[in-house]
Structure 1
Amino acid sequence: MGSEKLKIRFAGLFMIVGMVAGIFSVAPAIDSGDYLTEAAANFNRVIVGAVFQFVMSLAYLGFAILLYPIIRRFSGSLSVGFLSFRVIAANLVIFGTILLLLILALSHEFVKSSPGNALDFKTLGNALKITRDYINHVFMVLVLCIGNVILYVLLIRTRLIPKWLSVWGLLGTFLSGVASIMILFRVVDVITSEYLVLNMPTAVLELIMGMWLIIVGFNKKVLYAYRRR
C-alpha cells in the first residue's frame, strides 16, 4: 500500500505539473499575426515555451504510467484505453514542439532573407503554423479528452475519488472538446477569450484533483476491497 500511495501522490504532482506547463508553453510570438518576425525577436521566450511543452508531454505520460498498474485491477480494458490515448496525446505534444522549433528556425531565416523571398517564407510558415495549431489545440486535445473520459468513467464506477470530482472532470472534458471542435471549424481562434473560458473548468479541475491525489489519494476502502479479491 505504501508504494501505491507514493505512485498516487506523484500522479497528482504530474497532473499539476502538466497543467502549469501547459500555461507556460504558450508562446504569444508564435500566435501573433507577425509571427515570422516576432518569433525571432522573442527567441528565448519561444524556447522556454518549447521546453514547457516538452515537460507537459512527460507529465501527461507520467500521470498515466503511474496510475495504470493501480486502475487496471478495476478494469483492464478501460485502463489500457486510458493509457493508450495518453501515449498518443504525449506523442502529439512532442510533434507540436518540433513544429514550434521549425517555425522558430524559419523565422530566423525570414528576417535574414531578401524581400523577394517573403512570399515563399510566409507560405511555408502559414502551413507550419496551421498544422501546429491543429495538432496542439485540436487533435491532441481531442485525443486527451477521449482518454480523460475513459478515466473519469472508471473513477465514477469504482468511487476511487469523490463522484463530484469525476463528474466535474467529465464536464470540463466536454467543454475542452467543444473548444477544440470550434477551432477545427474556425468558429473561434487559438488563445481567444472564448477558448480560454471553455478550457478553464478543466484547468481548475486538474489543480484540485492533483492536490486531492497528493493529500488524500484514492479511497482506501475501495483499494483494500479490490486487493482482497
Structure 2
Amino acid sequence: MTATARTETTPRPRPGSPRKVAMLAGALYLLTFLASIPAVFVLEPVLSDPGYIVGPGEDTRVLLGGLLDIVNALACVGTAVVLFPVVRRQSEALAIGFVASRVLEAAIIFVGVMSLLAVVTLRQDLGATGGADADSLVAVGAALVAVRDWSFLFGPGLAVANALLLGTLMYRSRLVPRAIPLMGLVGAPLLLASNTATMFGVNEQVSLLSLVALPGIFFWELSLGIYLVVKGFRPSPLTDGPDVGGSAPADLRTLAR
C-alpha cells in the first residue's frame, strides 16, 4: 500500500468535529487557571502596598500580571464561543446566557486590569517625578486598587452564573459525567452567598465562608477542562450529524425549544 493510499483511507477529524471542539474548549478552560492563578501573586506589590504609586515600583511585574489577566479574560470568552455550537442543541436560551455571562465576566476583568495599569501610568508620570502631592497620589492609587478589588469580586463571581447555565446544559445533555457539573451546581449557591456577604461587609473575600464556597466552583471548571481534553464529549445526539459548528438538526432545534 502506498503512502498516498494510506493517507486517503485514514479518517481525519473534521475541523468542526466534536473531538476537536472538546479539546479546544478544555484547553481554554485550563488556560484560565494557568493565567489567573499566577496573576494573583504577580500583582501582589501593587495590591498590597498603599504607597506603590509614589514608590520605586515593580512596573514590569504589574504589566505582566495585567497581561495574564487579559489572557484569562480572552480564554473565558473562548470557552463559551467554542462550546456554544454544541450546547445550544440542548437549549439555545441557556447557551446564549452562558456566552453573555462569559463576555460580561471578561469585561469586568478588563476593568480591573485597566485600573491597575492606570496606577502604573500615574506612578511613572507623576509619582516618580514628584509632580503631584504624594498624599493625593496615594489616595488616587488606593481608589484604583479598590476598583480592581471590586472587579475581582464581581468578575470571577460570575462563575455562579456560568456554573448554573453551563452546569445545567452539561448535566441534562450528559456530554460529561454528571458528577462534574453537579460540583458546579452545588458550589454556585455557596459562592453566591459568600460574594453577597462580602458585598455587604459581612464576610471578607478571604475567609472561612469563602474557602467553603470556592472548591465546588474551582473543581467543577478544572475537572471539566481536564475531562474535555483527555476524553472529549461522551456519545450524545448533540454531537451527531453535521459538524458541531454548523446548524443544529431540525429535530434537535425543536427539542431545544
Is this a same-fold pair by TM over 0.5?
Answer: yes
Runs of at least 4 residues of structure 1 off by over 6 A? 225-228
Task: Find the partner of 1:20 among 26, 34, 37.
Answer: 34
Task: Find the partner of 2:92 among 72, 76, 91.
Answer: 76
- Give the alignment's Cα RMSD to 1 decimal: 2.6
Deviation at 1:191, TM superposition (A): 5.5
Residue 177 (1) aligns with residue 208 (2)? no
SS in 1 for 2:175: coil
**Structure 1 segment 150-161 matched on structure 2, within 5 A:** 150-161=165-176
Separation in 1 of the partners of 2:225 and 2:185?
A: 16
Separation in 1 of the partners of 2:195 and 2:217?
A: 13
Deviation at 1:133, TM superposition (A): 0.9
Task: Find the partner of 2:144 among 128, 145, 149.
Answer: 128
Judge which range, 86-95 or 178-187, deviates more. 178-187
Residue 113 (1) aligns with residue 119 (2)? no
When residues 46 and 196 of structure 1 are mapped into structure 2, their CA distance, relative to the original with a 3 A threshold, is farther
**Structure 1 segment 35-74 matched on structure 2, within 5 A:** 35-37=51-53, 40-74=56-90
Deviation at 1:141, TM superposition (A): 2.6
Corresponding residue of 1:162:
177
Separation in 1 of the partners of 2:212 and 2:122?
A: 32
CA deviations on 1:155-203 (whole Å, 9 max, x unpaired) are: 1122221111111012333333334334322344455676456434433
Q: Identity of counterpart residues, as a percentage?
A: 26
When residues 21 and 81 of structure 1 are mapped into structure 2, their CA distance, relative to the original with a 3 A threshold, is same
Deviation at 1:58, TM superposition (A): 0.8
SS in 1 for 2:133: helix
Unaligned runs of 5+ in 1: none
Judge which range, 197-206 or 26-35, deviates more. 197-206
When residues 141 and 224 of structure 1 are mapped into structure 2, their CA distance, relative to the original with a 3 A threshold, is closer
Structure with more of its chain in helix, by fraction: 1
Separation in 2 of the partners of 1:61 and 1:41?
A: 32
**Which TM-score applies when normalising by structure 1?**
0.86
Counterpart contact for 1:92–1:135, Cα < 8 Å: yes
> What amino acid does structure 2 have at the position aligned with 1:58?
L
Corresponding residue of 1:220:
235
Structure index of larger Rg: 2
Counterpart contact for 1:29–1:39, Cα < 8 Å: no
Separation in 2 of the partners of 1:19 and 1:215?
A: 17
Separation in 1 of the partners of 2:64 and 2:172?
A: 40
SS in 2 for 1:25: helix
